[in-house]
Structure 1
Amino acid sequence: MSKIPVQDVTPKVETYDLYAKRQKIQTRSYKGLFMNVRLAGVAALFLLYFGTVWLPWGDRQAVLWDLPARQFHIFGATFQPQDFFLLSFLLIICAFGLFFITVFAGRVWCGYTCPQTVWTWIFMWAERITEGERNARIKLDKAPMSVNKFLRRSAKHAIWLVVSVLTAITFVGYFTPIRGLVADLFTLQIAGWAAFWVFFFTAATYINAGWLREQVCFHMCPYARFQSVMFDADTLIVSYDAKRGEPRGARKKGVDPAEVGKGDCIDCNICVQVCPTGIDIRHGLQYECIGCAACVDACNEVMDKMEYPRGLIRYTTEHELEGKKTHWLRPRLLGYGAALVTMIVMFIITVGNLAQVSLDIERDRNVLYRETRAGDIENVYIVKIFNKGQTERTYTIDVSGHPALQLQMPDNRLTVAPSRKLELPVNIHMEPGALNGATNIPITFVVTAEDDDSVQAEAESRFMAPQVR
């Protein structure tokens, strides 16, 4: 009696140690189109970040968020805390912009313009020029401490620290005038809070870009987790063409893959060695992939040397890899695009229609009302006029709400410097007989620019009076 052969078909399950020690990623150098694009982008971002803070604008720097004065200067525009809704508006626009670009081209934001990625590449560059290329760094890590290793490590950390300090000073310089901040820093007269934030952002930059690196993308950034919800089969992502590349195998230069029964992939692992997150793109799309296209440039270099066509790893879509047509215009993309354009237009209109003057009224909290020598009822208010324009303006101030209201001022014409706030006490009188027994009358203060009637602001308050018995 013959036995039926038995074969174990239990699938192999890969297990991972949740508390495994992190394996340090050592990347190798490469060249290519996308590297050049990244370098141009990094140069532009660095020029924008480090250069904007030094631009002058009249008697102040061009971009300054002056928190103590509660004024936010962005070139020729000045905003107050009540304009804070514009920041929320801007953040929503950025969110929809990110959604749109993610649906269209995956995580290109992460690969090219995310500050974590940009600063990490700078720190990796410092590592390369001080400790050598990938193999040299791996050997240096394993080597015992020596004078050579100490000097190389010291030079690397010195560059990291300089970049971190410059980054922190620049960031704090957007909230504290940068020229005064640098002068105080070098003379050791820096204020306590400014010193704290410079130290904090220095440490944050040094740790995030120097030590944590890809761990920030893996475990701290929420974008890596929800990106898959936004992808579809027509999203442009970095992909390995398995139909063309498999089966893998080494061979001599110029050998036709069909002659050796292999695909175009020579299994050199260079795509893995250049990846800043240490993944193998040949395993398919992974949430760790930041879409930087380092593997694309590296693989194209190898294909050129092997005299094979480029594009074994490339930006493509799932439909294209399956031989189907890619749909560039699709409902989700059009929806995000329409929402983005609509909000940008609304934001521009809102900013364009912002009042050039604001008015705030505060009642004197020390006394509700008082009686003058002439027998009138008097209320005292603190009037705050903020000129948001960039030129000096003269305003007239009036009050309405009751015909008997009298504005007690030597001159109701007030001149306010550009981007400045004027505060002054104002007395309002009313004859007791005109009150008709009222004890609480709504009134409205109005300021109007003398040179332009359309530049106007209003603020409401109350006129308080004693109860007549």
Structure 2
Amino acid sequence: MNRLIPVTQITPSSPSSRSSSKIYPRSFTGLYRRIRIGGGAILFALYFGTVWLNWGERQAVLWDIADKKFHIFGATYWPEDLVLLSAILIICAFGLFFITAVAGRIWCGYACPQSVWMWVFLWAEKLAEGDRRQRIKLDDARLSRKKVLRRLLKHCLWLLISIVTAVTFVGYFTPIRDLVPDLLSFNISGSALFWVFFFTAATYVNAGWFREKVCLHMCPYGRFQSSMVDNESLVVAYDAGRGDPRGSRSIGSDPSAQGLGDCIDCEMCVQVCPTGIDIRDGLQMECIGCAACIDACDSIMDKMGYEKGLVRYASHNEIENGTRHLLRPRLVAYFLILVTMIGLFSWGLASRPLLTLDVQRDRGLFRYNGSGLIENSYLLNLTNKSNDTIHTFIAVYGGEGFSMRGPDGVTLGAGEQREIPVVLEKDASSVQGAVTDVSFEVTTFEKPDRQIVAPTTFLTPAPR
């Protein structure tokens, strides 16, 4: 059995730590930064672009809460289909478990919305106020016209990003092509205006002010990651055997001759960390796996003429013993559960009925009509969940001697719901019991081999 890696919270005691709790991440370049920028660009394109796509005459992705319909490209989902949403959430949960078992908090570092927007806000902050040293100096400086203008520019950029983010998000629930003109003309509804304001404020506060505090104090993921990672999981790790003892030295010098490891104790890994931790203290709850420290350390190793990888993605066993095993019971279990859930979801999606029938019998028991026949009244609720017009045929089965008054078929447009009143009649002389089981059956012209059957009952006087 794999031994779990303990994850502890450590307060860095580096000389560069400021008395203020504010973190000033330093800008950097490197492989993982380029990967994160590329991945973030794709995620941004999907988020901001999908909402503007059309599918036929409607928005391709629209959660129309008012009409209780959820349009996702060519499919329309109804409230009774929300069980599929639950399945998606379960799939996402086990997908996260699987990814974490393989590569730690790689989701947090590269794809989590909080992390992605935090990096964008840090970029805007750098654009307005400069890099780490300039921002520290600006914070310590007295109030001046330059300081006010720089701060104003930063907050304007933050606010602009927040507004665009909020409008896009609300656009997934209210048609975006109507929302934007209404917003610009100040003709927007009160509810839409409230949600735009709410998500603007949420984005502005979370990504601009709280930033890493959301990851440290509000997100529970960091606190239970230790139950999902093990000695074989890839995490951002410092190779203490190679790096210690730490110490400064001149470029080109031989560290072994000075009794030192490869770490020059420059603390560049601490300065670029968005959560302000020292990765050399080991795996910590605050680490979001963004690999900023890897890029920073690799750049220093290049300058010193040392081999890269002093800080790298590696498992605990790889650091300690130089070995790593990919297949292990925990990972196989997560994978099998994930594949099973995806299979069940796909089956449920494919077998989802696109035409539903619900039968409601009149609350009255029964009645005699003018012809002396016993009749029961019913209300058939037909719903066309497809995006095409369908033609239906209605029939009744069960017992003998029944006749039906009402339409024997209706045409339903795409997404249309219709209530159809129907009356069943039967001669009193043929009554054999107080309750007769009957069923309404609906077929379609488009798929005559598929029937929808809804059972109900026909009430009559008890026979003497």
Provide the TM-score with structure 2 as the length reference.
0.92
Q: Aligned-residue CA RMSD in angstroms?
A: 2.1
Match of 2:401 among 397, 401, 404: 404
User: What do residues 385-438 of structure 1 show as CA deviations (whole Å, max 9, x unaligned)?
Assistant: 2222232211111222332332212x4221111233233323333333333351
User: What do residues 65-110 of structure 1 show as CA deviations (whole Å, max 9, x unaligned)?
Assistant: 2222222111111111221111111111111111111111100011
Q: CA deviation at 1:468?
A: 7.2
Instruction: Summarize the alignment of residues 58-457 of structure 1 with structure 2, pairs less than 5 Å apart.
Output: 58-364=56-362, 367-409=364-406, 411-438=407-434, 440-457=435-452
User: What do residues 229-261 of structure 1 show as CA deviations (whole Å, max 9, x unaligned)?
Assistant: 111111100001111111111112122211222
Q: Calculate percent identity across the aligned residue pairs.
A: 53
Question: Which is worse superposed, 154-163 or 428-437?
Answer: 428-437
Letter in 2 for 1:343: M
Question: Which is worse superposed, 251-260 or 368-377?
Answer: 368-377
Q: Gaps (5+ residues) in structure 2?
A: 1-9, 13-18
Letter in 1 for 2:49: G
Match of 1:11 in 2: none
Q: CA deviation at 1:467?
A: 6.0
Q: Sort the Cα spacing of 1:80 and 1:15 in 2 relative to 1 into closer, same or farther, 3 A.
A: closer
Conservation of the 8 A alpha-carbon contact between 2:33 and 2:295: yes
Q: CA deviation at 1:194?
A: 1.8
Question: Which is worse superposed, 176-185 or 54-63?
Answer: 176-185
Q: Sort the Cα spacing of 1:328 and 1:191 in 2 relative to 1 into closer, same or farther, 3 A.
A: same
Match of 1:462 in 2: 457
Match of 1:3 in 2: none
Match of 1:7 in 2: none
> Residues of 1 paired with 2:328 and 2:361: CA distance?
57
> Residues of 2 paired with 1:107 and 1:207: CA distance?
23
Conservation of the 8 A alpha-carbon contact between 1:357 and 1:456: no
> Residues of 1 paired with 2:63 and 2:459: CA distance?
38
> Residues of 1 paired with 2:170 and 2:374: CA distance?
50
> Residues of 1 paired with 2:225 and 2:277: CA distance?
17
Q: SS where residue 448 of structure 2 aligns?
A: strand
Conservation of the 8 A alpha-carbon contact between 2:431 and 2:463: no
Q: Gaps (5+ residues) in structure 1?
A: 1-13
> Residues of 2 paired with 1:408 and 1:302: CA distance?
86
User: Between Structure 1 and Structure 2, how many residues are aligned?
Assistant: 450
Q: CA deviation at 1:311?
A: 0.3
Q: Sort the Cα spacing of 1:434 and 1:189 in 2 relative to 1 into closer, same or farther, 3 A.
A: farther
Conservation of the 8 A alpha-carbon contact between 1:355 and 1:455: no
Q: CA deviation at 1:355?
A: 1.5
User: Whose RCO is larger (CA < 8 A, sep 6+)?
Assistant: 2
Provide the TM-score with structure 1 as the length reference.
0.91
Conservation of the 8 A alpha-carbon contact between 2:110 and 2:116: yes
Q: CA deviation at 1:170?
A: 1.6
